[in-house]
Structure 1
Amino acid sequence: MFENQQRDDVEKFIGTSKDTRRLYFRHQELNDKLDNAGRGCLALSDEELRRMKMEKLQAKTQLERMWDTWQASGPH
């Protein structure tokens, strides 16, 4: 997530609030766990896998909306 953005901008965005930071790092945590599950390093049930994918997608969608709002608020 945010691969195409300037690192400084992403760090400023993440620092805008506790909620933004929490959601960003939760997304990263889910991404890492799902990567590990995909490699066979983390055993997850089908239900756990489905739930984690859904939560990761919801976090990404919310972060993208927050990013767009932050970008629209002016120069940073």
Structure 2
Amino acid sequence: RASVSGPARREYEITPAGSMSLSLWFVRLGELHSTLHLFLERYVQLSGPGSGPVGGEARPTAGHPLSGHPPTTGRTGSV
């Protein structure tokens, strides 16, 4: 593609195989996220108050990985 300044820009496009690979990674990482979330929730529940890594930590707030509410990413739609 032509550029106003400098050399022409290259344009890249994902292949069908690349798209499939990304979709598989998306699913796998979602599974890993769920597993880690469950582990961390159980750890917090079993550890009791004040036994966090720093001691006396407050419960997670919205957007924190342990809050149960994902942070806003600005992404919409699906892969």
TM-score by length of 1: 0.41
Higher helix residue share: 1
Q: Which one has a bigger Cα radius of gyration? A: 2
Q: Between the two structures, name the one with larger relative contact order (CA 8 Å, sep ≥ 6).
A: 1
